[in-house]
A and B are shown apart, each in its own frame.
Chain A
């Protein structure tokens, strides 16, 4: 489906309005059902035993005493989850992460699990599971893991992507490279060069709802799973694969989701709950504690990044390189690759090279976190860009505009861009009153740009027209940010109905075809394409029905403004038929009216944003406060502007927390020191200003209304924007995120010495 240019001049009736969300009343009354709010008759309570060691060989596990505890119905270990992964390393990593097989790879790694009639019995049983560990040397720091004397964490991992092939096992799982041109030649033409190393600490998505599920395996081989997830179809596939269940026999229902941000794209305990249910032959409920969420569900990578950028006197970047080391936890993944791809995506560069190195460490398996890997790369690159602008005496906005990517630019990661929004966001930033507002004492202003690919993916949607002419759309993408509202607007727009006549529901895996999960900012983008297609199919049927009702040829019926019209003058007296009119007669004209659509939503338009931030720094304590923050981002077409703004603000808020305070802190013993909200500090109300937003609309040529995904890009610029603002406030370049009070004070003290 491509962009219909007539839509850009079209005045939308529904799209672009701001109706109330259909899930609003449920959410404000406490009736919305989240993962832990569901129960099955006879269900057991499950608890997981987790390693306290960062790295240890599991010599033996004795569960016999635990099994004798009154009320205990099942105990499982890795032995109850045999390896059915058939040589698929990614799937094996998921399996091993769900339940450690030979080695505990991090503090929090699951070792065994118990299902019992109540929490007390389950906890008592956990204490009686005897695990004989052989403690192994560990490494948690990204740089330390790459040193020659670091313990090798997985003897089977040889660095991929290097020539000649690696012959020794290594903690660097893979090397990826992107770019074009000749950077050496480029640097030789540079008049100024900035070269620096940066670090960012590991952060967690921090959704307030812990992972929760209820699993039920029946003796006939069927099973069901109620779970909070961003992708119930994906969970179904993975759980079925790991447990040897036929995919169609596992029915997965997604609950209301209390935040995911990428962290609920991955199974953590769900296969374990199913294994327990299978063994106990009863339903099992498994809810993670907050401590477990931090210790054992996917955080983002910790990173160490070297950047070098050169420019000539005229402010043209002549060459840019970056080497990006990303931790992935105990298993190989592609986080560094994503970092390497996104690093310089905002710029039009003649010579660019990025190298990603995926680093294995004794930390939890990394999962996606909103534009995964891009914020850290942007922090490093946008910091260097700012410094280079200062060095050559250019305003940081003008310097970026001078080098900005635009339609036709070959991106640093390969593709040629179509129409994109980075230039317009920079121009808007330049013109924004925030940019010229005066700053007070000890205040600094920073700006930064950000990029995210966006994703389309497999999508399937049903649209059913009821006898009263109202419409249900059944979608397979979990609503994480208001997509039931935005998709209802889309359906209303296509059908010519009012928003109130549309009800969107998230269907379970047995009632709709496969859908990829809600990731890559694809919820509204991809499912709106399927919804438009389904609506158009339904309209086709309604044209047929109208033709039947009027008894005129189909070719004489056209659809406009939610009505079937008889064309021309020969049927001149026929009043248009509304959806309601046609639906009322459906039983007599051929039965129920529905539209269906299945597609791969190709063409998710890439997304760009520019952020501006003012920060106030206390030079005596290093405390800081964000006093003003502006997000400018391209939405393609904002379907529900309030929820687009909600995504902009939410991403910025998470980025601000990451930039200033949030970090995983590991002790010398390799244990996580702060697995709770008290010491893992996500922003509270007083930490944030009223984040201002500006929506730009540069239509995505691959979507009929021009829509682009909007959910993720907003977390990309804040790390850099804040670091630039703090650096400008204190006059010292901040190179380590989070820029917490101790780091700011240390930088100030070092600068004085």
Chain B
């Protein structure tokens, strides 16, 4: 497969490239661009952050799990390409002047994240830097540098790269599906094809386990699946919507869901990962499914020209097993519009960039003090994302009162027998799940409980 993309403004054509090779390996080993660092090779440290540009987005991404097939047709900027004509980018300059670089190993990645944040007008440094580990500074001098650099103008190369993408006709490859129809046709023909969306999981199979993933295809050019549409009773979310775009949408319709997604991994991972990948991969702790189950989402699976829908919770059969047939793929997610009561709680050891120990989502509708609807779903409490059906039954039809919440206390272990693992013990999970219902109740009465909200 031929791969073409722009690298720091120059066209790169790779004939007979291995599309499953990582961009990081190409940069460091073939192109001698060693400014992009390898700190973990699994998307956790951000030392390999690069910027990937296309016609409508500027994304900071982890090069260590970014596959060449994903950058085809795009423009890539590395730390070597952010300054122009021998001049430092203002953020590079600000890092030096504010002593924001100590050992310097994380510095290129930090700078790329800050440059991307500035280009995307993201002013919250905790958001912009959640995916970049620095072990030397404690971050304070980096934040000072970021504040100083915030007012800079967009780099000239943004326009240059975008124009060159058009003028040099770096067109999407014919070998990759361009639409949902293409994916459907491909899977009918070759049902075993592995679909690669964001590669935030598959990337690790390649870099850590050296797995052979053939046959595979990349979905990142199926643009018709990257839309969120408002329908009559639902929102329709394409499977290829990335989590950062999903977050921006979620923040406008359900602040609590938006906040949950703000804490979904890091911005680099959110820009790569997709909602379809997050669901189809079947993780028991992926943070979207509990929220979407509580919201009452259905998913649409497509095989050839036929489609079927099912409630999201029904998709998860058991650990590692989803209701996905040969030749079928997840095309869309339908979320009912009436989920403004949805409240999501993510419990993890670290606030940002951490996997949930427990993710609890509540969608409870109270009318005239009576509970008329209750959808409660949890991640991290079972082998799959799961509804708390006993709790729901105990709530529906009852008063929204202290007594009702108390009556749920002994029902949790009917719904869940969580595991003890490195993230939390079974007892911790059950206890926090119980406490979260209390918290939801108290917050519904107007009390502020969250430690982070209190101190904000």
Which residues of A approach B to under 8 Å, CB–CB? 18, 20-21, 23-34, 36-37, 120, 123, 205-210, 256-261, 287, 289-291, 440-442, 480-482, 616-618, 620-625, 627, 642-643, 646, 649-650, 652-654, 660-661, 665, 673-674, 676-679, 681-688, 690-691, 740-742, 745-746, 749
Which chain A positions have C-beta within 8 A of B421?
673
Task: Give the complex CA separation of A205 and B42 in angstroms.
Answer: 19
Which chain A positions have C-beta within 8 A of B80?
29-30
Which chain A positions have C-beta within 8 A of B45?
208, 290, 677
Task: Give the complex CA separation of A649 and B95 in angstroms.
Answer: 16
A623 touches B111 (CB 8 A): no
A653 touches B138 (CB 8 A): yes
B435 touches A621 (CB 8 A): yes
Within 8 A of A (CB), among B1-52: 28, 33-42, 44-45, 47
Which chain B positions have C-beta within 8 A of A687?
350-352
Which chain A positions have C-beta within 8 A of B438?
620
A441 touches B454 (CB 8 A): yes
Whether B101 is near chain A, meaning CB under 8 Å from some CB there, is yes
Task: Give the complex CA separation of A210 and B439 in angstroms.
Answer: 42
**Contact (A652, B431) CB under 8 Å given A643-B99, A742-B425:** no
The 8 A CB mask of B137-157 against A (1 = contact, 0 = none) is 111111100000000000000
Task: Give the complex CA separation of A684 and B143 in angstroms.
Answer: 12
Majority SS at the chain A contact face = loop
Report the minimal beta-carbon distance from A81 to chain B, rounded to whole angstroms. Answer: 27
Closest residue on chain B to residue A646 by CB atoms: B102
A480 touches B454 (CB 8 A): no
Which chain A positions have C-beta within 8 A of B452?
625
Task: Give the complex CA separation of A654 and B136 in angstroms.
Answer: 8
Report the minimal beta-carbon distance from A499 to chain B, rounded to whole angstroms. Answer: 15
Task: Give the complex CA separation of A643 and B36 in angstroms.
Answer: 25
Q: Give 30 pairs: A residue, B residue, CB < 8 Å, sorted on A.
A: A20-B97, A21-B101, A24-B101, A28-B108, A30-B79, A30-B80, A32-B104, A34-B37, A36-B34, A36-B38, A123-B210, A208-B45, A209-B105, A258-B105, A442-B454, A618-B449, A620-B438, A620-B449, A622-B428, A623-B451, A649-B140, A650-B138, A660-B349, A677-B44, A678-B42, A681-B354, A684-B266, A685-B143, A686-B126, A745-B431
**Contact (A620, B102) CB under 8 Å given A650-B137, A685-B143:** no
Task: Give the complex CA separation of A6 and B40 in angstroms.
Answer: 50
Which chain A positions have C-beta within 8 A of B136?
259, 481, 646, 650
Task: Give the complex CA separation of A660 and B125 in angstroms.
Answer: 22
Closest residue on chain A to residue B35 by CB atoms: A30
Closest residue on chain A to residue B347 by CB atoms: A621
- Choose one: B102, B107, B450; the contact of A482 (CB below 8 Å): B102
Whether B130 is near chain A, meaning CB under 8 Å from some CB there, is yes
Closest residue on chain A to residue B429 by CB atoms: A742
- Choose one: B28, B83, B97, B432; the contact of A29 (CB below 8 Å): B83
Whether B297 is near chain A, meaning CB under 8 Å from some CB there, is no
Which chain B positions have C-beta within 8 A of A749?
431
Task: Give the complex CA separation of A257 and B347 in angstroms.
Answer: 35
8 more A-B residue pairs beyond the given contacts A26-B104, A679-B422, A691-B138, with a C-beta to C-beta distance below 8 A: A258-B39, A290-B40, A290-B44, A616-B451, A620-B435, A681-B350, A684-B266, A684-B351
Which residues of B approach A to under 8 Å, CB–CB? 28, 33-42, 44-45, 47, 78-80, 83, 88, 92-93, 95-97, 99, 101-108, 111, 125-126, 129-143, 208, 210, 266, 347, 349-355, 357, 421-425, 427-428, 431-432, 435-436, 438-439, 449-452, 454-455
- Choose one: A209, A685, A746; the contact of B37 (CB below 8 Å): A209
B88 touches A25 (CB 8 A): yes
Task: Give the complex CA separation of A538 and B252 in angstroms.
Answer: 69
A684 touches B96 (CB 8 A): no
**Contact (A617, B451) CB under 8 Å given A25-B96, A681-B354:** yes
In order of increasing CB-CB distance, the 9 nearest A-B pairs are A30-B35, A258-B105, A27-B104, A653-B138, A677-B44, A649-B138, A24-B96, A30-B79, A618-B451
B106 touches A208 (CB 8 A): yes
Closest residue on chain A to residue B96 by CB atoms: A24
Report the minimal beta-carbon distance from A500 to chain B, rounded to whole angstroms. Answer: 15
A258 touches B349 (CB 8 A): no
Task: Give the complex CA separation of A682 and B44 in angstroms.
Answer: 11
- Choose one: B39, B347, B423; the contact of A623 (CB below 8 Å): B347
A742 touches B79 (CB 8 A): no
Closest residue on chain A to residue B127 by CB atoms: A686
Residue from A33, A256, A684, A687 whose CB has the most chain B CB atoms within 10 Å: A684
